[in-house]
A and B are shown apart, each in its own frame.
Chain A
């Protein structure tokens, strides 16, 4: 079973700053990694799929990179609405399954 480890657990930043979130897989997941944003009381929203592709309607300040076991989500300049919890997720082929990381909370400093 592949384990996803996200770091840091909490990131304290100010609006306008750059946010760099990490997701590390216990074994290679190729480029099959996605990132989600979740705000309190809301369902998760897909930001990035296949490591670096922005989902529909996602602003260009969000970018993803990486392959194999190490992945990064970058928010180039934090907007007030970006303070939220972010999760990474990978898909296993057999048996078919999804795994989520533990999450990184981006909070206002």
Chain B
């Protein structure tokens, strides 16, 4: 069974940093395309970042480019999202997900990030 468990969310001041983690199990993590999707309170879904399998190329939405970094630790089967220079508009539930070709069949339960002073 595929499991994705996020952690690391919380309250952070504007301009601060936070690192999200996503522990993965039940599939071949090293070769899977992984992604982060977020959802602001009461709003729709927004793709944030993706990490391709094998070659580990990273891709970002324009809204987070230069501030967020996606990475993975294969030995720990864990996906990360390092978030720097956080803004109020980054406040959202962040979902870790496994991306299979054209869609996302597996999602974590999400972790809430609140950026506020």
Contact = CB atoms under 8 A, between A and B. Distances in A.
Contacts of B108: 43
Contacts, number: 62
B44 A103 contact: yes
A66 interface: no
Interface residues of B, number: 22
Give the interface size bracket for A toward B. Answer: 20 to 34
B45 A87 contact: yes
Nearest to B105: A46
Nearest to B57: A96
A60 interface: no
Contacts of B117: none
Interface of B: 35, 37, 44-47, 50, 52, 57, 59, 61, 95, 99, 101-105, 107-110
6 nearest interchain CB pairs?
Answer: A34-B103, A49-B103, A43-B107, A98-B47, A100-B45, A96-B59
